[in-house]
Amino acid sequence: MQRRKEIYLILFPETEEGVSQAKGMNKALGHDVTDTVSATFTTDTSTATGKNKRTIERQVQIGKELSGVADQSTHSHRLHLWST
């Protein structure tokens, strides 16, 4: 799910956290904001899969955490190989 989110943000960079909020604030302040905003990754994936938005957010977070653990494990393994 984490990789899917990374790809989604490449395709729709305007949905990244903070970007759509900034556009909304600028529009509220009366600034000319003509860009259309795509659905966020969570909303789009929730609609496509029928899963709750919170479920999608949890799955992305789990992917981030597992990725970090894998990176640490790989790094530790390389250090061990170099020290022998």
> Per-residue confidence of the chain (84 residues) as pLDDT tens digits?
888 888 888 888 877 877 767 777 777 888 776 666 677 889 999 999 999 999 999 999 999 888 876 666 665 656 555 655
> Which residue is it, tokens 């790809």?
7
> What was the pLDDT predicted at 58?
94
> What was the pLDDT predicted at 68?
75
Alpha-carbon span 28 to 38, nearest angstrom: 18
Alpha-carbon span 64 to 73, nearest angstrom: 14
> What was the pLDDT predicted at 17?
77
> What was the pLDDT predicted at 59?
93
> What was the pLDDT predicted at 77?
56
User: Helix, strand, coil: what percent of the chain each, to 5?
Assistant: 75, 0, 25
Could you give the residue ranges of the DSSP H alpha helices within 29-84?
41-49, 53-83
How many separate domains does the chain show? Answer: 1
14: containing domain: 2-83
